[in-house]
Structures are given as C-alpha cells and as structure tokens.
A and B are shown apart, each in its own frame.
Chain A
Amino acid sequence: MAVEQRGMEVKVDAPSAGLWAHTVDGLRRFFDGDIWYSFKRSPVTILSAVITVLFMSAALFAPLVAPHDPFDLAQVDLLDSFLPPIWVEGSDPRFLLGTDDQGRDVLSTLMYGSRISLGVGFASVIFSLFLGVGLGLVSGYVGGTVDAVIMRIADVQLSFPAILIALLIDGVARGVLPRDLHGEIWFYVLVFAIGFSGWVQYARTVRGSTLVEKNKEYVQAARIIGIRPALIMLRHVLPNVMGPVLVIATIHLAIAIITEATLSFLGVGVPLTSPSLGTLVRVGQDFLFSGEWWITVFPGIALAVLVLAVNLLGDWLRDVLNPKLR
C-alpha cells in the first residue's frame, strides 16, 4: 500500500525521475560491461575516439573556437594571402597553419570544412540507415514477392560501386535542376545521393537477422495475441536486429565522408561557397606547383586522420559486438 502511495506521489515528475534513474542504471551497466572494458584496454581505440571527438567538437563549435571567420569578408585581408604555416620562414603568428590564396586562415577553414564534411556524412548515414533498415525489415518479415523485388534491386545496385552511384545521382541532379535551385538544395541532393548509394548493406544485414528473429517464440506470441504486423516489426523485431546495424553505420560514416570528399574534389559535391574538406583539397591543388603546399596538404591530412579514426572505431566496435566475425 505504501509503495503504491509513494508511486502516486511522485507521479507528477515521474518521467524525469524515471529517466534519471534509468540513465544512471544504464551508465553503471555500461561501465561494468564488456564494451567499456575492451575500450579501456585498447590504446589505439582510445586515441581514435579522442580524435573523432576532437573533430566533432571543432566542427560543432567552429564559430566559437576558430581563430578567424574565413567567410566574414571584413576579417579577411588579401594582403595576408599565401602566408606559410608558423614553423616556416615568413609566417605570421596570427595564422597557425598559414593562409590560402584569399588570405583566409587555413586552420579556420579546416574547422568550418569539417563541419560540412561531418554534417553531410552524418545526414547521409542516417538517411541510409532509415531506408536500409526499413526495407530490410519489411523484406525479411513480409517475404514473398516484396522480398524478391527489394533483394533483386539490392543485387543490381550492389554490382556497381557505391561511389559511382552517388556520382551519377548527383551529376544527374546537377543536370536536371536549374542552377540557382541546386545552389539552395545542394545539401539534400548530396545526402540523398550518398545515402541512397549505401542502403543495401543495412537492408541485407537486417533482412538476415529478421528472418531468424521472426520464427522465434516471442514474435509468434506477439502475433497470436493479435498485434498488427507493423507494430511487431517496429517494437519487437527491430530492437533485436539493431546490433550489427550500429557497426555498419560507423564504418559507413567513414565511407560517406570519403564519398562526399571525392564528389567535392571532382567539383560535383558541395558548392565552392561552403567548402568541405574535399573542396579545400581541390582548391588548393592549383597552388601545389607554385610551392604553397599547405593549402592542400592540411585539409588532406585532416581528412585522412578523421577517416582513419572513424574506421578504427568501427573495426573495434565490430570486434567487440561480434567476436565471431574476426
């Protein structure tokens, strides 16, 4: 009786209290668990995580932490152009990694560039994840003709490299859309192109695990008590097939960042007005021959380090969550 009363009393702020207790409990379980243990014991993984977090915060807080605003014309001075990085003779202490042809601070353009690279990367992964997991779930659970059609499409798409598909979608959109409209919605076009090129991996994995889950007793029980198929899929099957999806998503993030950088490097990705890391490499390439190597090398290094760190994190996650795959 007392318990029930207490339950009644705290009911006003129950959601927040419940959430808090849930979070604390979850955190405690996490720190006691295998994942945290294996994380602590792998210096490479810790380093990768630190690098990834650094990049993400630099990207997220670029307007606050960047030493200069490269897109504020009032702050950019053409007289500052082509200054080398600080350890080379003739540098300016204001610009740690030197300046580009328009006098913009390379370090600041890097931060703003990571913002766009990571933004497109994350958005593409999320788009891919929703599309792939949804189609995989339906394909596995419903089966029959639906399954056959989705999987044939997946087969066909899988026989072409993802980057080619992204390039074609983006290139075609560029041809179809009027120029100024494309200037406005380039972000969505790019996210669609990169996201669409990657859904097959998710769909295949989820379909495979759904086929296994759907014959288990809890799903049959749910079916017997008359829950609608859509609800069974979302509430019962989905949580049990999401494990491998996390691993795919991490590795896919690295691929999405590379794809975006490649498209931007080819001049069909993000517009020049909001350069990503790939665009910066493309722009800097012209100055390679006149000795201003830093304009292109630093964005290149940043890109490589970011992708390597995310890849290593993905590898580690795969080994922890699924030791059999090793």
Chain B
Amino acid sequence: MLAFIIRRLLQSILVMLTVGLIAFALFRFVGDPINNMVGQDTSLADRAALRESLGLNDPFLVQYGNYLINAVQGQFGISYQQRRPVADLLVERLPATLELSLVAAVLALLVGVPMGVYTGLRREGFLSKVFLVVSLIGISLPTFLIGILLILVFGVMLQWLPTFGRGEVVDLGGWTTGMLTASGIKALIMPSITLALFQMTLIMRLVRSEMLEVLRTDYIKFARARGLTNRAVNFGHALKNTMVPVITITGLQLGSIIAFAIITESVFQWPGMGLLFIQAINEVDIPVMASYLILIAFFFVTINLIVDLLYYAVDPRLRVDKLVAGGHGS
C-alpha cells in the first residue's frame, strides 16, 4: 500500500515537472521576453542590464528551477496583452469555471444515474430504447453544436434564457458566484446542460452496463430467493454495488469537465479560465498559455491521484486483480 502511494506520488511529480518544462520552454523560447516588456526606445545597454537583472543569462537549469519555484508560490509572470499578473487573471476567472463545472457534474450524476438504472432494469422497455438512442446522439453531437442549438431554441426563438455571460454575480470575499441571483441562475442553465450532456450519456451507459453485470450475479439470485421485494433487491443490493466504478469515473471525469469547459465557455462567452486560454492562444499571450497549461495539469494530476488512492482504499479486490493481471499489464 505504502509503496503504491509513493510510486503514484512520484509519477505525479514527474508529470508536473514535464509539464512545467514544456510551459517554461514556451515562456522562454517563443519570442524574446525582453522585447515584450520594454518599449521601442530602450537602449541596447538597458536591455542587457535588464536581461542580466532578470536572470535571463543564467544557465537553463537555473532558470527552469527559478520558474518552478515561482510557479509553486503562485507567481506565473505578467500577461503580455493585459499587462497584469497572470495569477490575478486566473484567480479572477477560476470561480466561474469551477461553478460551471460543478453544476454540470451534479447535473450529469442526477440525471445519468436514474437513466442508467432504468435502462438496466427494463432492458426491452420502450423508454430504454429512447434513452439509448438519445445517448448515441449525445455522443455524436459535438459539444459546441449542442450549445448552439440550445441558444437557437431557448435564446433566440423562445427568448427564455440569456445567451451569453454569467448574469449578475455576488462577490463573497474573492469568490464570485452567480448562484445567488435570479439572472445568474438563469445564465447558468444552458451552459451547464451543454457541458453535462456528454458526461450524462457516459454515466448512463456505465451504470447500465454495471447494473446488467451485477444483476447476473449469484447474490442477487439469492436475494430474490429469500423473497426480498424488487425494490430492496434492485436498489439495496444491485445499485449499491454499481456505485464504486460510477463514483471513480465521475471523479476522473471532473478533470475532463474542467477541460471541456473551454468549449462551452467559448460558445456562451462565459468569463472563465477556458475563454481566457482561447483568447491567449489567439493573441499569442505566452505567459497566460503556459500558466493555464500548468494549472490544468495540476488539476488533472491531483484528481487522478486522489481517485486512484480512493479506488485502492475502497475496493480491496483491486489489489488482488493487480497481482493477477500484472503479467499482461492493463
């Protein structure tokens, strides 16, 4: 167990160091940082002095080390375009993205799990077939198209919901939220549905196949033989045992949701980190790009690490499986 944790931790650190190296290489070698900082009329001598004082003449590894130390302390440099510290920009945008992602994740779970249970229990039912067809369409439709269709129907034709932005937000000591105002909640509806739809179909299919698997096992047959009610068998015994993979997959998908938020934010002009990143790409704003890269990698690595450790702790079978499966890998 301890060896597993240490190995996973080391692997995570290695990934972060690699991402940090890519980010730093971008930062250092794409364009000249000095040119991006000073005006046209700065003399060559001044430039050289600035270069020396900023440590740009140091060996590569020293510079990389300094970059990492700064990044760990939350100093990501200054945006070329907006002339403000990148860390401030990210902190400003973080609540919008996290709020959208969390609402979408909850939505995906609340709708996806019941749909999966239903299609698992009533395999031949008419509604099950409808759900399955809908899920296939949900997987085939690109996220941005769903967003645009929603805008067309509910924003332009029916004019029920706002089509861009967050609405009114309330500032709670550095954390802005749209959940407390009517316009904020209205603005959240379409983006969160857009973001949730793909994960929803994923969760539905997962729950369905897990339910089918579990319902075939002996202990379910035994529960039925004991004369338990259908409800007790289906929910008390079967559903409970499908929840382990569902929770882990949802946990892992949380990172994907934050990444996919780039697309949704772009469709709805949602002022989050994803929109900031897309703007940075279009304006070649390297510090912002590099920092977003590090931040999103950090989210992913942390989430994966936690989920892996939880998985290991929750499901004792995994430890045995690992040993058996070790021969052929995964």
Contact = CB atoms under 8 A, between A and B. Distances in A.
- A and B physically associate: yes
A268 B152 contact: no
A293 B140 contact: no
Contacts of A265: 142, 144, 263, 266
Nearest to A290: B156
Interface in B250-274: 255-256, 259-260, 262-263, 266-267
B282 A268 contact: yes
A250 interface: no
B281 interface: yes
B145 A300 contact: yes
B152 A293 contact: yes
B266 to A, nearest CB: 5
Nearest to A211: B328
* Size bracket of the B interface: 35 or more
B195 to A, nearest CB: 13
B141 A175 contact: no
Contact of A266 (B140, B145, B278, B328): B278
A176 B301 CA distance: 26
A192 to B, nearest CB: 16
A261 B267 CA distance: 13
Contacts of B151: 288
Interface string B139-156: 111111100110110001
A167 to B, nearest CB: 7
A307 B138 CA distance: 11
Contacts of B263: 262, 265-266
A308 B26 contact: no
Given A175-B289, A267-B282, A159 B26 contact: no
Contacts of B266: 265-266
A174 B163 CA distance: 29
A172 interface: yes
A107 interface: no
B137 interface: yes
B278 A164 contact: no
Contacts of A91: none
Contacts of B284: 174-175
Contact of A159 (B18, B148, B289, B300): B300
A311 B256 contact: no
B289 A171 contact: yes
A307 B146 CA distance: 14
B101 interface: no
A324 to B, nearest CB: 14
Contacts of A171: 277, 281, 289
Given A171-B281, A266-B266, A303 B145 contact: yes
Contacts of B139: 311
Nearest to B328: A211
Contacts of B144: 261-262, 265-266, 278, 281
A313 to B, nearest CB: 12
B156 A164 contact: no
Nearest to B151: A288
A38 B26 CA distance: 52
Q: With a 10 A CB-CB cut-off, give which of B277, B289, B329 has the most chain A CB atoms.
A: B329
B47 to A, nearest CB: 22
A156 interface: yes
B281 A297 contact: no
B328 to A, nearest CB: 6
B140 A161 contact: no
B136 interface: yes
Contact of A208 (B143, B255, B328): B328
Contacts of B262: 164, 167, 266
B119 interface: no
B190 interface: no
Interface in B172-206: none
Nearest to B274: A266
A204 B141 CA distance: 27
A296 interface: yes
Interface of B: 11, 15, 18, 26, 30, 136-137, 139-145, 148-149, 151-152, 156, 163, 255-256, 259-260, 262-263, 266-267, 277-278, 281-282, 284, 286, 289, 293, 296-297, 300-301, 304, 328-330
Given A159-B304, A281-B144, 17 more contacts: A151-B329, A161-B255, A163-B259, A175-B26, A175-B281, A176-B30, A262-B263, A265-B144, A266-B262, A281-B145, A285-B267, A289-B156, A291-B156, A303-B145, A304-B137, A308-B137, A311-B140
Closest 7 CB pairs of A and B: A171-B281, A308-B140, A164-B259, A307-B140, A265-B144, A175-B284, A161-B256
Interface of A: 151-152, 156, 159-161, 163-164, 167-168, 171-172, 174-176, 204, 207-208, 211, 254, 258, 261-262, 265-268, 278, 281, 285, 288-289, 291, 293, 296-297, 300, 303-304, 307-308, 311-312
14 contacts: A156-B15, A164-B262, A167-B262, A171-B289, A174-B281, A175-B26, A208-B328, A262-B144, A268-B281, A285-B267, A288-B151, A289-B163, A304-B140, A304-B145
